[in-house]
Amino acid sequence: MENVEQILLPRWIIPVDDENSIHEDFGIAINAGRIVAVASKSELKARYCSDSVVELAEHAIIPGLVNAHTHASMTLFRGLADDLPMPVWLNEHIWPAEAKWVSREFVQAGTSLACAEMLRGGTTCFNDMYFFPDTVAEQSEACGIRACVGMIVIEFPTIWAKDPNEYIQKGLDLRSSLEKSTLVTTCFAPHAPYTVSDPTLTQIAELSSELNCQVHIHLHETAEEVERAVCESGIRPFERLNHLGLVNQRLMAVHMTQLKTHEIQNLAEHASHVIHCPESNLKLSSGSCPAGELVSHGVNIALGTDGASSNNDLDMLGEMRTASLFAKIVSESAESLDAYTALRMATLNGAKALNLDHEIGSIETGKSADVVALDLSHPATQPCYSPVSQIVYSMSRDQVSDVWVAGKRLVNEGALTTIDEQQSITVAQNWCNRISQS
């Protein structure tokens, strides 16, 4: 028998594969941070032994959730400016607050709180766009969570950089420093077409191609954004990005609530990715991403929470449910965006968008052991005819019992193992006092 570091024995394994499989009475063998076998419990017990065998009698194990669009440290602005139209929310509240408060210490505290929230909710990887991405990377490494940190680019000066050239250079320096990291990767993160010029976007397109590096950008978030762009330039923002060479398999277009059929077809033809943030879009009344139509056209669509200042949580289980229900009403079809598709959007599709699907996003031999155990024994998920339906339509994040990233148990029976949760909360409360009293 082969000795392995861990054996997980749940009731169900939902691998997220092309067959929409649900395995009952299967287990997972993990060694050196990787999945070495997914097989029936009898076969595992015959082939492997371990000093760490985790019995999860009423649990389902799924791939770790991938939050494909965050501004992690904006947890410290949670609830600061609610129930406002997006232009007012952004221009009169969020941007002034950022100008006054964002610092390296702010990002460190906010990211620590975000990592605690995400891990406890089953998120094992997040894609971030914010200032001080080097600090986001450091905090992610310290917590043991997987992250893709955005090399932020905005045309105007901020506390992070004074001009586009400095933004890009600082991003490239960060990318070089993370070359040996097993947990943190990078992508270009130009904020939006309305905050980044053509020459800068062209430079990013060229660097993205040269480095095979993803590009993460807010795009077609509101009707007002698109209308203003057409009024000023004569073309829609998506068309502008297409002309500049950014519409390709490396594009991660966030929000996309304003889409025409030919744009959806263009996304599919270029194998571009859409990051759908349904709860943020609903809360800000930004519009409705046609998720069902994107899926039917073969576009890879992933899920993100956006920042906690516009959501107001980082709950990917909730995001799955909202995405599925929202798609049904938008398409006027109850068959749109079924439960397994919603789960795929929150796992494998997110990994594909980040160009990490060779490593994470599904439970299969050879991939990193980024997995989550969900307790279905709660009253809210009983009786259980289909674990996938219960996970998407009934489950809360309080039912996340255990989380592993690269085989390391970061949540053990509901308790964080790498983060001092109370300290993160105390620091966040101190920031709240400072901000609210100013």
For residue 85, is pLDDT > 90? no
Does 220 share its domain with 305? Answer: yes
**DSSP-assigned states of every residue in 177-203:** HTTT-SSEEEEEEE--TTTS-HHHHHH
In this structure, the answer to whether residues 47 and 168 fall within a common structural domain is no
Percentage above 90 pLDDT, the chain: 98
- Tens digit of each residue's pLDDT (9 = 90 or more) over 191-229: 999 999 999 999 999 999 999 999 999 999 999 999 999
Q: Which pair of tokens denotes residue 133?
A: 């991405």
Is 416 a domain residue?
no
Give the chain's largest Cα–Cα span. 69
Q: Give CA separation, 392 vs 43, 119, 253, 373, in Å.
A: 30, 18, 24, 14
pLDDT the model gives residue 155: 97
Average per-residue pLDDT for the chain: 97
Residue 75 belongs to domain spanning: 65-353
Give the pLDDT mean for 382-391.
98
The DSSP secondary structure of 3-18, one letter per residue, reads E-SEEEEEEEE----T
H or E, element range at 393: helix 387-393
Q: For position 14, which CATH number holds?
A: 2.30.40.10
The answer on 206 and 286 residing in a single domain is yes
Q: Is residue 434 part of a domain?
A: no
For 134-157, write each residue's pLDDT tens digit: 999 999 999 999 999 999 999 999
Within-domain flag for 322: yes
CATH number at residue 127: 3.20.20.140
Proportion of the chain above pLDDT 70, given as a percent: 100
Report how many domains make up the chain: 2
Whether residues 113 and 190 fall in one domain:
yes
Q: Do you know the residue count of the chain?
A: 438
Contacts of 295 (CB under 8 A, 6+ apart): 301, 337, 341
Q: Do residues 76 and 213 share a domain? A: yes
438 confidence band (pLDDT: 50, 70, 90): confident
Residue with tokens 């009024």: 231
pLDDT score for 86: 86
User: Do 82 and 179 reside in the same domain of the chain?
Assistant: yes
Question: How do residues 275-291 score in pLDDT, each as one tens digit?
Answer: 999 999 999 999 999 99
Nearest-angstrom CA–CA distance, 180 and 185: 10
